[in-house]
Amino acid sequence: MSSSAQKHDVFQAIADPTRREVLRLLAEKERPISEITAHFPMSRTAIAKHLQVLSEAELVSGQKVGREKIYRLHPEPLTELKQWLSFYEKFWENKLSILKHIVENAADHRLQVIKPEETDNN
């Protein structure tokens, strides 16, 4: 894994469950590497690499203080994900999605268009 540059984006960064858990831990509070490592069944080196991927995606940053390196969450890049998601939300969240579902099951529902004037005689 490389030095610092854009080799990993936010989509890749959150693809790994370990990294998502690291983010969750850092959401609570900032922590040194060793403390983060204590939560996982793997070596400190492995966690350090995960932190590097997260760091490349700019989701975390580490600051050296004394002999420790304190990492903390940097949630801003997640807005990119949110934007990406928002495009697809219309497919399940809004009226069209409901309409689409109804149309797809038209045979069962026996759809019937009712004109406003006819609305009161049901």
Partner DNA sequence: TTGACATGAAACCAAAAGGTTTTATATAAT
Partner DNA sequence: ATTATATAAAACCTTTTGGTTTCATGTCAA
- Give the binding site for a copy of itself (CB under 8 A): 11-12, 14-17, 20, 23-24, 27, 73, 75-76, 78-79, 81-82, 84-85, 87-89, 91-92
CB of 98 vs DNA, minimal distance in Å:
30
Taking the complex as a whole, how short is the minimal distance between the CB of residue 78 and a copy of itself, in angstroms? 5
DSSP 68: E
Which residue carries 């370990």 as its tokens?
A: 18
Question: x/- string (CB under 7 A) for DNA, residues 14-53?
Answer: -xx-x-------------xxx--x----xxxxx-xxx--x
Whether 10 and 59 have beta carbons less than 8 Å apart is answered as yes
- Give me the half-sphere count of Cα atoms (radius 13 Å) on the Cβ side of residue 10: 15
Helices (DSSP H) in the chain: which residue ranges?
A: 10-13, 17-28, 33-37, 44-56, 78-89, 95-104, 106-109
Helix (H) or strand (E) holding 91: none
Question: Toward DNA, which CB reaches closer, 64 or 110?
Answer: 64
33 versus 81: smaller Cβ distance to a copy of itself: 81
Q: Which is nearer to a copy of itself, 47 or 73 (CB)?
A: 73
In this complex, which beta carbon is closest to DNA, that of residue 8 or of residue 60?
A: 8
Q: Would you say 26 and 71 are in contact if contact means Cβ atoms under 8 Å apart?
A: yes
